[in-house]
Structure 1
Amino acid sequence: MKSIKSYLLILSIFTLLTACSSLVPKTEVVATKNYVVLTKNIQQIKPIVLAAKALATEDGKNFGNFKVIICGKTVTDLTDKELITEYVEMAKKNNVTLIACGFSLKKFKVNADNIPKELEVVDNGILYNFQLQKSGYLSIEL
């Protein structure tokens, strides 16, 4: 008899807890959306930044970081102040981080001191891209 009373008590408590949990409003967790683009063509920075701007509007408060990694021979163009200034200003205005691949800078003998200070430099752009992907960034290579 005692066992049945204990069973009914446990069942009643479980039913009560289940009923109460359904009364608690459910909150939807929406993750921040972060993006990274790896490009080997400096001319692609403008359409990439325009895509970032559109995604920022689309994602609203869930828009996180947008990074562009520049690698390959195009890093030589980063020293052309007339060419790169427009891209740097456009990226800054749209909260896009421009990053130069240090491996490419070394390979093509570009002194990091000769590129705009607004650009970050990472040791290896490809590795950095993979690391960002592992932390949840959506990625594309152009």
Structure 2
Amino acid sequence: MLNINHMKTLIINSLIILSVLLSIQTQAQNTKTTDNYVVLSKKIAQLKPIILSAKALKSENEASFGQFVVVICGKEIGDITDREKMDGFIEMAKEANVQIVACGFSLSKFKVDPSQVPDEIKIVENGILYNFQLQKKGYYSLSL
């Protein structure tokens, strides 16, 4: 038979364990997760549906929506210097909080002058490597 001191100790220990478990559960619920995205694309024309997708993802869950990056690489990289083609996409991207990035390797390979790239477009040395680096940071990735 348990004496009164053992009962008190048992009840106190049970309450402590219960409060620790509830505290851990509350912390787990309060941990905020952010969803970040990167899309690697070879076609400028794909910018519109990509940006529209970013807007839709943000509207579905604005609380967890983080960064959205589009990396442009490949043969069509020269098109990013055409302000007539790019201005609409740049404005759409700005409104949707989408960052457009140009692959420096592609710029070099296809002889595109980096000084002609609009200021709103970030240039990275290697777009494919940049994509992998973002994936390592937990970004969801899609290549088109």
Task: Give the shorter-chain TM-score range.
Answer: 0.7 to 0.9
- CA-to-partner distance for each residue in 1:19-49, whole Å, 9 max, x for gaps? 2235547241231110000000000000000
Using the TM superposition, name which of 21-30 and 36-45 deviates more: 21-30
What is the CA distance between 1:18 and its match in structure 2? 1.2
Deviation at 1:12, TM superposition (A): 5.3
Matches within 5 A, 1:1-142: 13-22=12-21, 24=23, 26-27=26-27, 28=29, 29-142=31-144
One-letter identity of the residue aligned with 1:20: S
Deviates more, 1:10-19 or 1:56-65: 10-19
Q: Root-mean-square deviation (CA), in Å?
A: 2.3
Q: Which runs of 5+ in 2 are unaligned?
A: 1-5
* Shift of residue 115, structure 1, vs aligned partner: 1.2
User: Greater CA deviation, 94-103 or 10-19?
Assistant: 10-19
Report the alpha carbon displacement of residue 8 of structure 1 after superposing the two structures with TM. 7.9
Please report the TM-score for the alignment, with normalisation by the length of structure 2: 0.87
Percent identity at matched positions?
A: 50
1:84-117 deviations in Å (ceiling 9; x for gaps): 1111111011100000000000000101110111
Compare 104-113 and 25-34 and name the one that shifted more: 25-34
Amino acid at match of 1:119: I
Question: What is the CA distance between 1:74 and its match in structure 2?
Answer: 1.2
| In 1: Cα distance, 2:41 partner to 2:12 partner | 59
